[in-house]
């Protein structure tokens, strides 16, 4: 896809990877950017910086779990600003906990934002893209959508689901000239991971590196953008020697010891 003169909408644009994608799109010749997130002040600050690069920016303050408002705001945006050529579904949340200590509200939030939020906005825009017979949709999954990780079971589940959703949609929309691709970052240095206990040996990358890989992926019409040698190694390892990889991940995972496990469980009961 040639980004020159096009309009893109990026969700999760107030921070982290989404913010970095917005800046990289601005550098790549995009004409207009619609930025979606809940934090009005952060969006306004980013809009000022991107506008200074000569790109028209429209901040859309939206909670993606509010289906009715998403519907209204997206319909208005299409009417007021015209065709949206590129949708980047980047908003997401992650909670880490051993499964037996996981909390239902966290699981519900992951599903509500990572899956249902993505579904809602994608449906609204995909219908319009199909009517224009033009569009590209990028769904931000994760390496954890290929290789599930202990302590991240429900987050991994949402990311596996995103890859299935993406593959099915790609097949359905291809004949309408709407491309659907996925971005699979590995550990990236953002707010999301600040409070997580990290996996041993995984080196975080910068959000800018992830965003630049996406721009190259869009340019090359890639179906899946996997970033960095560690990710490629994990994907191939999972394909060729899945049991070995599972053992390696288990050893690298920040799982509590037997003693800590019973202490935590005891403290909760
Ligand atoms: N960081 C990593 O290591 C990593 C690795 C692989 C994949 N990813 C994926 O990359 C994406 C971005 O992650 P990140 O690391 O950049 O996270 P982040 O820094 O925590 O940013 C999350 C973004 O999602 C937005 N968001 C959250 N809930 C929302 C809601 N209900 N409605 C609208 N926007 C909402 C946030 O904006 P507001 O708070 O302003 O609403 C924020 O802009 C996620 O899908 C994540 O799963 C991240």
- Give this prediction's pTM: 0.94
Q: What is the mean pLDDT of residues 56-78?
A: 98
List domains and CATH numbers for the chain. Answer: 7-268 (3.40.50.720)
Residue entry with tokens 């890639």: 222
Residues lining ligand 1, Cβ inside 6 A? 11-18, 37-39, 42, 62-65, 90-94, 113, 117, 140, 142, 185, 187-188, 190-193
Q: Whose CA is nearest to atom 34 of ligand 1?
A: 37
Q: In the chain, pLDDT over 90 holds for what percent of residues?
A: 84
Determine the pLDDT at residue 215. 98
Residue 269 has pLDDT above 60, yes or no: no
Q: What is the mean pLDDT of residues 71-84?
A: 97
pLDDT tens string 91-119: 999 999 999 999 999 999 999 999 999 99
Q: What is the mean pLDDT of residues 68-85?
A: 97
């Amino acid at each position: 896809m040639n980004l020159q003169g096009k309009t893109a909408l990026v969700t999760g644009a107030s921070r982290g990877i989404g913010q970095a994608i917005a800046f990289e799109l601005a550098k790549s010749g995009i004409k207009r950017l619609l930025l979606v997130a809940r934090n009005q002040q952060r969006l306004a600050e980013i809009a000022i910086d991107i506008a200074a690069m000569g790109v028209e920016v429209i901040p859309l303050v939206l909670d993606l779990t509010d289906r009715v408002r998403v519907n209204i705001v997206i319909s208005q945006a299409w009417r007021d600003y015209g065709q949206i050529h590129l949708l980047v579904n980047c908003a997401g949340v992650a909670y880490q906990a051993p499964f037996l200590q996981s909390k239902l509200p966290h699981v519900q939030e992951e599903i509500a934002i990572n899956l249902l939020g993505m579904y809602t906005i994608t449906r609204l825009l995909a219908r319009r893209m199909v009517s224009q017979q033009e569009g590209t949709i990028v769904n931000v999954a994760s390496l954890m959508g290929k290789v599930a990780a202990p302590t991240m079971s429900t987050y991994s589940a949402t990311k596996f689901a995103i890859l299935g959703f993406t593959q099915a949609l790609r097949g359905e929309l291809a004949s309408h000239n709407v491309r659907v691709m996925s971005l699979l970052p590995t550990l990236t240095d953002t707010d999301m991971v600040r409070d997580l206990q990290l996996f041993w040996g995984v080196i975080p990358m910068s959000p800018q590196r992830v965003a630049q890989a996406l721009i190259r992926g869009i340019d090359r019409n890639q179906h899946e953008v996997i970033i960095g040698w560690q990710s490629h190694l994990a994907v191939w390892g999972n394909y060729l020697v899945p049991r070995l990889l599972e053992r390696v991940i288990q050893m690298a995972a920040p799982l509590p010891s037997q003693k800590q496990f019973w202490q935590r469980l005891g403290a909760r009961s």
